[in-house]
Amino acid sequence: MTAELAEAPSSDIDRLNRVFSDQKDAFEAERHRPIDQRKADLKKIEDMVKARAEDFAKAIDADFSRRSHSETAVAETGFTIATAKHTRQHLTQWATTKRKPVPMTLVPGKAYVRREPKGVVGIIAPWNYPMQLALAPLVAALGAGCRVMIKPSEFTPRTGELLLETLSGLFSEDHVAVIEGGPDVAAAFSSLPFDHLFYTGSTHVGRIVAKAAAENLTPVTLELGGKSPTVVAPDFNLDEAAKTIAWGKFLNAGQTCVAPDYAMVPRGSEASFGEAIMREANRMWPNVAENDDYTAIVSERHHTRLGEMVEEARNSGATVLQADFDATRAGNTRLFPPTVVINPSPDLQLMREEIFGPVLPVLGHDGLTQAAKHINQGERPLALYIHSKSPTTARSFLAKTLSGGAAVNVPMLHLSVEDLPFGGVGHSGQGAYHGEYGFLTFTHERAVFEAPVWHPSRLIQPPYGKMFEFFKKLQGG
Ligand code: NAD
């Protein structure tokens, strides 16, 4: 059970192995945490998040060098509280053993599915919503009755510290543990023989995590990224579309896995749509240099990458629209103003990689069939958005494409519906969570058949005779 690797200090690896082993022992000692206690665990998280909401907002603000407290309130604390409450309210029903009908040949036996906790599970979280994306999977895992180790992102160390402080105040380390550290610790973490590994982050690292998990035959959930398109049908008013698309794109400065990555609008309207996006960006986040509601980029490296992408597009001759912005006056080198790039060429980095920043490429389409064809040529996205006045048109567009999730006439809100599964498909991920789907991710559905002391199946044991022939007939054979 020793994690191989790495350049991580041996004390970190020692702790990792010790906590893992303690959690395994604790799980063996209590395989079925009573539902009431699980509900109490969730209530503790809910109450802690409410009580420490401002501390989390400050920590995330400091990690980003500026993160809108309002966006943190809705997308991190509010989201986590709602998830914990929803899970608590439905837990009894989700955890109940499910009876299943038995075929005539197996009467009078009973069949049912026991929903068992998988055991000790790992959660690897990214930096972009560093609280929500650590705590929402934790809620699902605790609801399922698991023991949980969480590895927060090294890019948001203050939030990681606060997660450690708050969770260690609520749970013993053999129940919930926060393991801090960089990629070396993360690599050692993902090589532990967990009973389930839940990873949120880039597709590149997701592949590494999946390989490490495969060594142990550990089941994985991969919540990855990709280029999520947003398409405007010819019947939809472009100014109206710009209102929701600009919001979805520039919230958290575009550092949202389900943010619209690029837009496709009827050909010929790219420039006017780009201007409408900039108008909406300026209306929602005026004076980005001094606007505390406009979030900064998480690191200098990520900021430089965005700058290089836009520069490459500009040098290629594409039109770039950018909000007025004076970096010196802002006193923050990690702010990146809302930006639109009209018709960038497909070979640019901007169109090859997930952007993950406040830059919106706008492309033209020649109708929804061509737009679908364009999308289907790329990897399957995490989310897809279609704006149309006609539900029939929107649904027929959905039928022509495939994505992890989708929303009509507004980006991102599918992830706020607790009872919808949230996850990717293909390169944008595998598995899903939220609501009962999250509970099931960390649950083993164990099939049980119970026969009475004497069961007619004995009649079909060899030597095969008349009863066997009768059973065959009953079976349809
Ligand atoms: P990342 O992959 O760089 O990091 C995520 C986590 O992986 C961090 O905790 C990091 O320490 C860890 N990690 C790094 N190297 C590792 C290794 N070798 N082995 C194991 N773990 C390792 O991702 P990121 O940059 O923090 O996040 C951005 C990406 O995440 C974007 O692509 C975005 O779309 C995606 N994302 C997806 C979702 C979703 O729900 N599908 C949500 C948020 C972000």
Question: What does the pLDDT look like over 64-84, one tens digit per residue?
Answer: 999 999 999 999 999 999 999
Tell me whether the omega of the peptide bond preceding residue 108 falls within 30 degrees of 0, making it cis. Answer: yes
Overall average pLDDT of the 255-267 stretch: 98
The CATH architecture that domain 10-224+430-445 belongs to is 3-Layer(aba) Sandwich (3.40)
Place of tokens 């059973």: 471
Other CB atoms within 10 A of residue 60 CB: 27
What crossing angle do the helices spanning 35-51 and 157-170 adopt, rounded to 10°?
130
Q: pLDDT higher for 330 or 15?
A: 15
pLDDT at 477 over 90: no
pLDDT tier at 363, thresholds 50, 70, 90: very high
For ligand 1, residues with CB inside 6 Å are: 124-128, 133, 151, 153-154, 183, 186-187, 190, 200-202, 205, 208-209, 223-225, 257, 354, 356, 382, 424, 429
* Residue 259: per-residue pLDDT: 98
Find the 442 Cα to ligand 1 centroid distance in Å. 20
Nearest CA to ligand 1 atom 27: 201
Q: pLDDT higher for 13 or 176?
A: 176
* Residue 7: per-residue pLDDT: 63
pLDDT at 1 over 70: no
Q: What are phi and psi of 50, to 5 degrees?
A: -65, -45
Find the 247 Cα to ligand 1 centroid distance in Å. 23
Largest Cα separation within the chain, whole Å, is: 93
* Helix (H) or strand (E) run with residue 429 in it: strand 429-430
Cβ-based neighbours of 376, under 8 Å, separated by 6 or more: 400, 401, 402
* Helix (H) or strand (E) run with residue 185 in it: helix 183-190
Find the 14 Cα to ligand 1 centroid distance in Å. 24
What residue ranges do the domains of the chain occupy? 10-224+430-445, 229-423
* Residue 167: per-residue pLDDT: 98
pLDDT tier at 411, thresholds 50, 70, 90: very high
d(CA 162, CA 180): 11
Overall average pLDDT of the 117-146 stretch: 98
Nearest CA to ligand 1 atom 30: 201
- pTM across the whole model: 0.95
* Residue 473: per-residue pLDDT: 85
pLDDT digits (tens, 9 = 90+) for 305-359: 999 999 999 999 999 999 888 877 778 999 999 999 999 999 999 999 999 999 9
pLDDT tier at 4, thresholds 50, 70, 90: very low
* Residue 5: per-residue pLDDT: 43
Structure-block tokens of residue 228: 């999520």
Other CB atoms within 10 A of residue 258 CB: 26
Q: Which among 164, 162, 183 has a CA at the least distance from the CA of 61?
A: 162
Alpha-carbon separation of residue 1 from 96, 192, 343 (angstroms) = 33, 7, 52
Look up the CATH number of domain 229-423. Answer: 3.40.309.10
In the sheet that holds 98-100, the strands lie side by side as: 98-100, 110-117, 443-450
pLDDT at 469 over 90: no
pLDDT at 458 over 50: yes
Q: Which among 205, 203, 194, 60 has a CA at the least distance from the CA of 133?
A: 60
Place of tokens 């013993």: 172
SS3 state at 53: helix
Which of 148-157, 328-337, 396-405, 421-430 has the lowest average pLDDT? Answer: 328-337
Overall average pLDDT of the 378-394 stretch: 98
Structure-block tokens of residue 450: 């119970």
